[in-house]
């Protein structure tokens, strides 16, 4: 199940970007975006906006306590 793989990868490396998750799991960037949106909606993953550079928006994905339990 792809959702489980995404959760595991975020647990292993919280600094993953959507692009790095797509490359690691060998799925499309659009699929990663779709899966993350669903996990965020379910409350399993939380997205935090990083403010390194206003021109280059980056997000950090964090497992919530229920997300840790799912993994």
Each residue's pLDDT, cut to its tens digit, for the chain (71 residues) gives 899 999 999 999 988 889 999 999 999 999 999 999 999 999 999 998 877 666 777 788 988 886 565 55
Domain residue spans in the chain?
A: 2-70
Task: Provide the CB-side half-sphere exposure for 54 (13 A, CA).
Answer: 0
Fold of 2-70: Arc Repressor Mutant, subunit A (1.10.10)
Helix (H, G, I), strand (E, B) or coil at 48: strand
Please give the model's pTM, rounded to 2 decimal places: 0.82
Please tell me the distance from the alpha carbon of residue 29 to that of residue 21, in angstroms, as a whole number. Answer: 8
**Helices (DSSP H) in 1-71: which residue ranges?**
2-12, 18-25, 29-42, 65-70
């Amino acid at each position: 199940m792809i959702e489980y793989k995404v959760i595991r990868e975020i647990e292993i490396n919280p600094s993953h970007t959507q692009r790095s998750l797509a490359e690691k799991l060998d799925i499309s960037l659009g699929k990663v975006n779709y899966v993350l949106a669903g996990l965020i909606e379910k409350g399993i993953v939380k997205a935090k906006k990083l403010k390194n550079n206003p021109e280059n928006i980056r997000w950090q994905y964090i497992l919530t306590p229920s997300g840790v339990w799912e993994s």
